[in-house]
Amino acid sequence: MWHDVTWRPALSPDGKTIYTGAWLRFLYALDAATGEQRWKFETGSQGLFSSPAVSPDGTIVYVGSHDYKAYAINASTGTTIWQFATGVPEVFSSPAVSPDGTTIYIGSDDNKVYALNAWTGAQKWAFTTGGWVRSSPTISLDGTTIYIGSHDNRVYALDTWTGAQKWAFSTGNDVWSSASISPDGRTIFIGSTDSTIYALNTLLPGDDTPDNSPGTHTRPPINSLTPFHSFISED
């Protein structure tokens, strides 16, 4: 029996299978042409708000769950490959897979962003924010940075290899939204529950020079000298 279908389905690289979550703890694999169920995977708690992600080779499906875990599931059989327990009972964030397929990134309500080995689930690093992380990570075009929001009102840019903070930008309220990246990779667009959409410059001061030394920076919005750096929604 189907219950509320939550978040965005994922499509296998060959276009033949759709993976989608439903509120009552299940992740489904469906034939993309017919809708026929191929398998059903049960997580440990009611609530599946995370959208699944698929490995580049199509063999593994990743998803977060309200049982505080991230799962790696065999895409052919629907069986568990590994599971990783975060610190609290809910993972709203959806996983992102590195371009080379070796790492997944995901946030948790324990205030952390995690990098996990895509094949074993071993933790590579964790970055602690000041609030829940229900935003989903977005990976830069060159694969070196992830952008993610937090309930501490901030947008973070983190080094994909080390988890070090490259910069942070403060909005006026919680950031549930996930970022979109411009085609040239120099701008991200992200919303906040302060009713504003921000366009942020992704480059650190000196990023265009070879001797740049990244550190911790607070970002001004791009075009900060004009009134067009953000959009405020109205009722």
pTM: 0.86
Is residue 102 within 8 Å of 61, Cβ to Cβ? no
Map out the domains of the chain with their CATH numbers.
1-114+124-128 (2.40.128.630), 135-235 (2.40.10.480)
Residue 201 has pLDDT above 60, yes or no: yes
**Digit-coded pLDDT (tens) for 11-60:** 999 999 999 987 678 899 999 999 999 999 998 876 777 899 999 999 99
Other beta carbons within 10 angstroms of residue 12's beta carbon come to 17
The pLDDT value recorded for residue 46 is 66
Binned at pLDDT 50, 70 and 90, residue 214 comes out as very low
Q: What are the respective helix, strand and coil percentages of the chain, to the nearest 5?
A: 0, 45, 55
Residue 174 to residue 158: CA distance in whole angstroms: 18
The pLDDT value recorded for residue 204 is 67
Nearest CA to 205 out of 194, 197, 196, 216 is that of: 216
